[in-house]
Amino acid sequence: MERGGRPLRVLIVEDSEDDAVLLVRELERGGYEVACERVETAAEMVEALAAREWDAVLSDFSMPSFSAPAALAILHASGRDLPFIIVSGTIGEDVAVAAMKAGAHDYLTKRSLARLVAAVERELREAAERKARHAAEASLRASEAHLRAILDSALDAILTFDPAGRIESANPAAERVFGWTAAEIVGRSFHDLVVPSQGDGDGEATPRVVGALRHPGARELVGRRQSGQPFPMDVAVSAMLGSERRLGIAIVRDVTERKDLEAQVRQMLRTETMGRLAGGIAHDFNNLLAVILSYANIALRDLPQGTRLRADLEEIVQAGQRAAGLTRQLLTFSRRQVLTPRVLGVNELIADMNRMLLRLIGENVALEVVAAGDLGTVRADRGQLEQVLMNLVVNARDAMPEGGAVTIATANALVGEERARLHGVAPGAYVEILVTDTGVGIAPDVLPHLFEPFFTSKEAGKGTGLGLATTNGIVKQSGGFLEVESDVGRGARFAVYLPRLDEPAEPALAEELTMPRGRETVLVVEDEPSLREVATRGLRDLGYQVLEAADGYDALRVADRFGGPIHLLLTDVVMPGLGGRKLADRMRVVRPETRVLYTSGYTDGAFLAQNAIERPNGFLQKPFTVAALARKVRESLDDPAAPSQSAAAPPSVTVAS
């Protein structure tokens, strides 16, 4: 036997050893190097198939205890796809055809073995092709399963569609996005899933999506859910590569959350811009108001009661106080207002405001107060909390032009973790102040804008748009949050939540009407000439010796020339050149006994912390009256904690966060 031929492993099912030798000899003449095994029973064939790999099976048709059909059945049961060729001495054509139908690949007689090699070669080629095809099919099935897993787990809706825009498939995410089942989506047109943009005719959405097959890319569209609710979506469309038909694929992403976040960021930027504007104008505006109010009060001291000039001046004072209130609203909504928080009883505060609230709402609106008996206390600025109640009650009144009822109710409340996280506060015990009305209600499209500065749904001239923005700012400054519910025609419900305390309320501070006098020396440093003049004049009228300077460097020169003690440095914080804080630091080096009182109209938390305003008594908010200035100067001079102020000490003035 010639070695070096093509290797061939043959399992021979034959009861005649001589016939098996003839088969092997014929294959070797055809150029094969044959490795074979002969079996003649079913058990032997099963064992041989399990023991090794084979390239082909050659089987006699009929044997005393075995047959080709039985051998073919065993081969099929083993799961192997091998060429099975029947080689028989006696086989009729009908029997051969039946064997072929059962799965045999060829048959030939022992008298015509010359065809054996050609038959084996042909069947080996076809077996190799079948094996490659099966491998490709298995790979395709695995790829399809992998793709299906990706489609099923995708967060975006993935749709395929034909050139007419008819949807042919939809993944599970499409069900979540559009609200229909995948079976309901398939067969629909894109027109059913997209809201036409302005200017589109009926059915224009589908051509726009299908047209993207020629120019693939992403576009923003408005989707339509099964409920009819519109929503923003990004749609990326492209042609399906490798598809026998001209199909498209669309990846749809619901961008509702992203759009909401973008809107929140824009609102935050607008609010921050308004806050910067409010803080920027507060300094100059408060300087002007301080001058107006101070000179008016000085003039009032010299005018007798009942004169027309005095009445005119009183009107000026009232107008100035209203202007100061508007400035406080601007600062409050931007959370730049200095607070003086105290432990307050909310029920007592509402009772004190009752008569004023009745005057605000008028005779055609009823006011009812429902106070909880065991209500906790809160820590807040009394004036700011009064402003919250006034703003909410005035809004309620304006929502009832034909009359109605306003109810103020208080209660203890518990705020859970989810609700607290929604509002950015800590969970726990809160005091609820609920203001409800029977008015016209708030339209759904207005609700998202309620707390925007300068937004108002009132007619021109009847609202500044700052009331609710201010209210929201105050509540947030105080560590709480505000909720609103309303239906058109069914009134509105505003709920204020402030952290609840178990401490007793602090007694109210008595308003001091007198202006204390003194004989100490005060250095007034103010870059606004008119305000410097009014402060200087007011303090001199009260007996103080007053030195004045236009800025920080001027103050150092004045102090250097003055030989006596300077008991108090009254300085604006923000000045060109040398600011108030640095001036105070340099003054302490040469005059450690000098006490410091700061003034400013720009008072956000970062500003005060940066300038290290150390003591509660060490700051006077602009605009101020001469009376307020006199009391603050006296407090600073009499404060036993001063002048041992340390530049490293943390600021103790309470400001907006």
The domain that holds 201 is classified in CATH as: 3.30.450.20
Q: Is 488 contained in some domain?
A: yes
DSSP 372-422: -TT--BEEE-HHHHHHHHHHHHHHHHHT-TT-EEEEEEEEEEEE-HHHHHH
Q: Are residues 39 and 164 in the same domain?
A: no
Q: Is 648 contained in some domain?
A: no
Report d(CA 389, CA 478) in Å as an integer: 14
Highest mean pLDDT among 158-172, 255-269, 550-564, 627-641: 550-564
Pick from 365, 397, 390: nearest CA to 462: 397
Which of residues 322 and 222 earns the better pLDDT score? 222
Q: Are residues 329 and 355 in the same domain?
A: no
Q: Is 311 contained in some domain?
A: yes
Which of 62-76, 115-129, 165-179, 310-324 has the weakest average pLDDT? 310-324
User: Per-residue pLDDT for 606 more than 50?
Assistant: no
pLDDT band at 216 (very low <50, low <70, confident <90, very high): low
In the three-class reduction of DSSP (H, G, I as helix; E, B as strand; rest coil), residue 67 is classed as: strand
Pick from 284, 305, 315, 209: nearest CA to 252: 209
Q: What is the mean pLDDT of the chain?
A: 81
In the three-class reduction of DSSP (H, G, I as helix; E, B as strand; rest coil), residue 424 is classed as: coil
Pick from 366, 350, 520: nearest CA to 431: 350
Report d(CA 45, CA 56) in Å as an integer: 13
What amino acid occupies position 534?
V
Q: Average of pLDDT values for 439-447? A: 80
Q: ω before 623 within 30° of 0 (cis)?
A: yes
Q: Is 651 contained in some domain?
A: no
Q: Are residues 540 and 455 in the same domain?
A: no
Q: Are residues 405 and 322 in the same domain?
A: no
User: Per-residue pLDDT for 198 more than 80?
Assistant: no
Q: From edge to edge, which strands make up the β-sheet containing 157-161?
A: 167-170, 157-161, 248-254, 230-239, 217-224, 194-195
Highest mean pLDDT among 236-240, 250-254, 563-567, 652-656: 563-567
Q: Is 286 contained in some domain?
A: yes
Which of 172-181, 250-259, 459-468, 475-484 has the weakest average pLDDT? 459-468
- Look up the domain containing 450 and give its range: 346-499
Tell me the two tokens of residue 567.
């008991």
Q: Is 616 contained in some domain?
A: yes
CATH, residue 604: 3.40.50.2300
Which of residues 528 and 510 earns the better pLDDT score? 528
Pick from 531, 592, 536, 590: nearest CA to 559: 590
Q: What's this model's pTM, rounded to 2 decimal places?
A: 0.43
User: Per-residue pLDDT for 650 more than 50?
Assistant: no
Q: Is 148 contained in some domain?
A: no
User: Per-residue pLDDT for 64 more than 90?
Assistant: no
Q: Are residues 316 and 419 in the same domain?
A: no
Report d(CA 431, CA 410) in Å as an integer: 7
- pLDDT number for residue 543: 93
Inter-axis angle of helices 17-29 and 116-153, to 10 degrees? Answer: 80
Domain end position, chosen among 276, 306, 333:
333
- All residues at 6 or more sequence positions from 7 whose CB lies less than 8 Å from its CB, including other chains: 32, 33, 35
Find residue 39's DSSP bridge partners: 13
Q: Tell me how far CA of residue 654 lies from CA of 300, 341, 608, 628, in angstroms.
A: 33, 7, 9, 19
Q: Are residues 361 and 447 in the same domain?
A: yes
Q: Are residues 363 and 492 in the same domain?
A: yes
Domain end position, chosen among 233, 254, 275:
254
Q: Are residues 455 and 371 in the same domain?
A: yes
Q: Are residues 293 and 400 in the same domain?
A: no
CATH, residue 473: 3.30.565.10
Domain end position, chosen among 225, 254, 283:
254
Q: For 103, which DSSP code?
A: T
- pLDDT number for residue 245: 66
Which of residues 173 and 326 earns the better pLDDT score? 173
- pLDDT number for residue 556: 95
- pLDDT number for residue 463: 47
Q: Is 309 contained in some domain?
A: yes
User: Per-residue pLDDT for 109 more than 60?
Assistant: yes
Q: ω before 83 within 30° of 0 (cis)?
A: no
Q: Are residues 287 and 390 in the same domain?
A: no
Neighbours of 306 (CB within 10 A): 7
Neighbours of 218 (CB within 10 A): 12
Q: Are residues 24 and 96 in the same domain?
A: yes
Q: Are residues 321 and 356 in the same domain?
A: no
- pLDDT number for residue 645: 41
Domain count, the chain: 5
